């Protein structure tokens, strides 16, 4: 049964005013360590969430038992939840009929990849690691999302995604690389492993540096991770309503360097395209920051009603189990700059740091956008405008707005960086980011040398 059939059957089971969201997953992930596959996971699943509305009382229940008795039971639980809930005067109602835009994002060849193919593509990375042991995975999936409602909504999308990720590491060094796309054919697991292994070879004999403020070049892996972490509090409407967002009282103001423009664009075929959100609201390109000026945050139907003043959903409702996080961007893109190469950015920096990847980011103070974390798998000094000797992993504590306020340059190409860690149901999303050179990156400590 496809997702639309599951959702329609569930809606019938609910009867009355209701919405059904079905999510179907067929995925395989070949995880390897020490150049051997050790944790392969092949998943077949279908989940359906029913939202029942009794007046303005709302209840939600979810199941993966999609036979008639299972759907009848989940409908009963949703109704029970609705009856147990007090009236919600700010409930926006269910979405009406919508015609989502046509998007790309589904590839038959990717959907057809099976366990043998996933093992073969993982082997391509393993073989390309050469003398450096590799750790990572190859994964591919097809998934379907459908949202239907008693108010006339009926939307469905099929998606595919694939990622090759490699940490190449031995006792003396480590490097990282990753590629993500909705067409597995665009991914080269061999090139990913070679990039990681090459970087690992260059991280041997890493040195320490003093704490302090440095100029820095951040590769897309690092920049995307930082932006994604910052976005949870600051680019979502709930953060704005709760006043923990950096953009609270700052929309319309110049907050970043004029080189910085950020959009959320789920329609971009270079990303992981989406046609609608988990309430069925169509996706569209949304300008969040324009030439350094804060323009918007992302909204769903609930937060839009709470905000009033004619605010409408921008198509960013999360799945039901994450709804208390509020709407979140899922297709962030930092628009590219002028730099022809990373070498050109290093030249602009002159004396500073080169950072491949970050690890374990923690929000220290959301309102100011202060985040701490570690660098990992490829940190280098930049001297005389060139990437120079390797450094140990560095602890940093920075205000993201401060990093983006003085930008030396951005590359003229962006890379898609995977953001899903594959918790829960498969829903591909990522961040498209260029390499960035920034004036200020605050190092607050040193950690261990790169390597296993």
Minimum Å gap between C-beta 319 and other proteins is 11
Least CB distance from residue 432 to other proteins, whole Å? 22
Closest distance to other proteins from the beta carbon of 11 (Å): 18
In the complex, the smallest distance separating the C-beta of residue 301 from other proteins, rounded to whole angstroms, is 14
150 scored as a contact of other proteins (CB under 8 A): no
Bridge partners, residue 336, by sequence? none
In DSSP notation, 2-41 reads -HHHHHHHHHHHH-SSEEEEEEEEEEEEEEEETTEEEEEE
Q: Which is nearer to other proteins, 15 or 424 (CB)?
A: 424
1 binds other proteins (CB under 8 A): no
Residue 327 touching other proteins (CB under 8 A): no
Query: Beta-carbon neighbour count of residue 305 at 10 Å?
Result: 17
Contact (Cβ atoms closer than 8 angstroms) between residue 324 and residue 302: no
Report, in Å, the least distance between residue 102 CB and other proteins. 30
Say how many CA atoms lie within 13 Å of 89 toward its Cβ.
1
Q: Which of 1, 15, 16, 42 binds other proteins (CB under 8 A)?
A: 42
β-partners of residue 164 are: 138, 179
- Which range in 219-227, 268-276, 291-299, 371-379 contacts other proteins by CB under 8 A? 371-379
Pick 100 or 133: Cβ nearer other proteins:
133
Contact region with other proteins (CB under 8 A), list: 5-13, 75-83, 148-156, 216-224 = 75-83
| Near other proteins by CB under 8 A: residue from 1, 15, 90, 97 | 90
Tokens matching residue 379: 């940190």
Task: Identify the bridge partners of residue 6 per DSSP, sorted by sequence position.
Answer: none
CA nearest neighbour of 163 among 423, 417, 447, 452: 417
The answer to whether 173 touches 451, Cβ cutoff 8 Å, is yes
Sign of CA dihedral 422, 355, 416, 316: positive
312 near other proteins, judged by CB under 8 A: no
Site for other proteins contains 320 (CB under 8 A) = yes
Q: How far apart are CA 221 and CA 431, in angstroms?
A: 9
Stretch that binds other proteins, among 74-82, 268-276, 310-318, 403-411 (CB under 8 A): 74-82
In sequence order, the 6+-apart residues with CB closer than 8 A to the CB of 263 are 285, 286, 287, 288, 332, 333, 335
Among 184-192, 219-227, 346-354, 390-398, which window interacts with other proteins (CB under 8 A)? Answer: 390-398
Shortest reach from residue 424's CB to other proteins, in Å: 8
**Sites for other proteins among residues 409-438 (CB under 8 A):** 421-424
Nearest to 262 by CA among 400, 442, 427, 101: 400
* 8-state DSSP, 331: S
CB of residue 24 vs other proteins: minimum separation in angstroms? 10
Footprint of other proteins on 280-309 (CB under 8 A): none
Summary count for the chain: helices (H), strands (E): 10, 19
Q: Residue 395: which of 227, 214, 233, 229 has the closest Cα?
A: 214
Judged by CB under 8 A, which of 165, 192, 224, 328 binds other proteins? 165
Quick one: 96 or 444, whose CB is closer to other proteins? 444
What CA–CA distance (Å, rounded) separates 181 from 141? 11
- Is 367 an interacting residue with respect to other proteins (CB under 8 A)? yes
Stretch 196-215 residues interacting with other proteins (CB under 8 A): 211
Using CB under 8 A, which of 9, 356, 393, 435 touches other proteins? 393
> Could you say whether residue 395 binds other proteins (CB under 8 A)?
yes
Chain positions 103 to 122 lying near other proteins, rule: CB under 8 A, are 114-116, 118-120, 122
Percent helix, strand and coil across the chain, each to the nearest 5: 25, 40, 35
Where does 302-393 show beta strands of DSSP type E? 332-334, 352-365, 370-383, 386-390
Stretch that binds other proteins, among 3-11, 80-88, 99-107, 150-158 (CB under 8 A): 80-88
- Which x/- pattern over 235-274 shows residues binding other proteins (rule: CB under 8 A)? -------xxx------------------------------
Q: Which of 35, 150, 154, 172 binds other proteins (CB under 8 A)?
A: 35
Query: With contact defined as beta carbons under 8 Å apart, do 20 and 48 qualify?
Result: yes
* Among the residue ranges 5-13, 63-71, 150-158, 344-352, the one whose residues contact other proteins (CB under 8 A): 63-71
């Amino acid at each position: 049964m496809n997702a639309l059939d599951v959702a329609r059957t569930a809606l019938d089971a609910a009867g009355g005013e209701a919405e059904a969201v079905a999510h179907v997953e067929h995925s395989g992930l070949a995880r390897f360590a020490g150049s051997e596959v050790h944790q392969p996971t092949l998943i077949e699943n279908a989940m359906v969430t029913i939202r029942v509305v009794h007046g303005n009382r709302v209840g939600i229940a979810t199941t993966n038992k999609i036979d008639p008795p299972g759907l009848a039971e989940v409908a009963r639980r949703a109704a029970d939840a609705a009856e147990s809930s007090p009236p919600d005067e700010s409930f926006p109602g269910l979405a009406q009929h919508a015609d989502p835009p046509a998007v790309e994002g589904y590839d038959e060849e990717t959907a057809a990849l099976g366990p043998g193919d996933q093992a073969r593509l993982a082997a391509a990375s393993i073989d390309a690691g050469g003398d450096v042991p590799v750790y990572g995975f190859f994964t591919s999936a097809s998934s379907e999302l459908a949202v239907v409602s008693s108010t006339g909504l009926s939307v469905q999308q099929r998606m595919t995604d694939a990622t090759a990720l490699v940490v190449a590491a031995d006792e003396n060094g480590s490097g990282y690389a990753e590629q993500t796309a909705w067409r597995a054919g665009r991914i080269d697991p061999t090139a990913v492993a070679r990039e990681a292994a090459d970087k690992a070879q260059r991280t041997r004999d890493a040195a320490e540096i003093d704490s302090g403020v440095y100029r820095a070049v951040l590769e897309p892996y690092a920049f995307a991770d930082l932006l994604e972490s910052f976005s949870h509090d600051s680019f979502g409407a709930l953060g704005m309503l709760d006043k923990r967002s950096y953009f609270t009282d700052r929309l319309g103001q110049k907050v970043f360097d004029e080189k910085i423009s950020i959009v959320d664009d789920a329609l971009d075929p270079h990303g992981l395209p989406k046609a609608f959100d988990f309430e069925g609201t169509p996706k569209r390109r949304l300008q969040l920051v324009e030439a350094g000026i804060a323009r918007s945050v992302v909204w769903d139907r609930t937060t839009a009603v709470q905000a009033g003043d004619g605010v409408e959903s921008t198509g960013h409702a999360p799945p039901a189990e994450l709804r208390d996080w509020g709407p979140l961007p899922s297709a962030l893109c930092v628009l590219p700059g002028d730099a022809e190469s990373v070498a050109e950015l290093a030249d602009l920096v002159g004396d500073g740091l080169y950072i491949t990847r970050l690890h374990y980011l923690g929000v220290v103070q959301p309102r100011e956008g202060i985040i701490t974390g570690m660098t990992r798998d490829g940190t280098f000094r930049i001297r005389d405008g060139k990437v120079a000797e390797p450094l140990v992993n560095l602890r940093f504590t920075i205000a993201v707005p401060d990093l983006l306020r003085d930008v030396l340059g951005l590359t003229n190409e962006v890379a898609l960086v995977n953001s899903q860690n594959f918790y829960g149901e498969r829903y591909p999303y990522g961040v498209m980011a260029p390499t960035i050179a920034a004036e200020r990156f605050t190092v607050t400590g040193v950690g261990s040398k790169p390597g296993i």
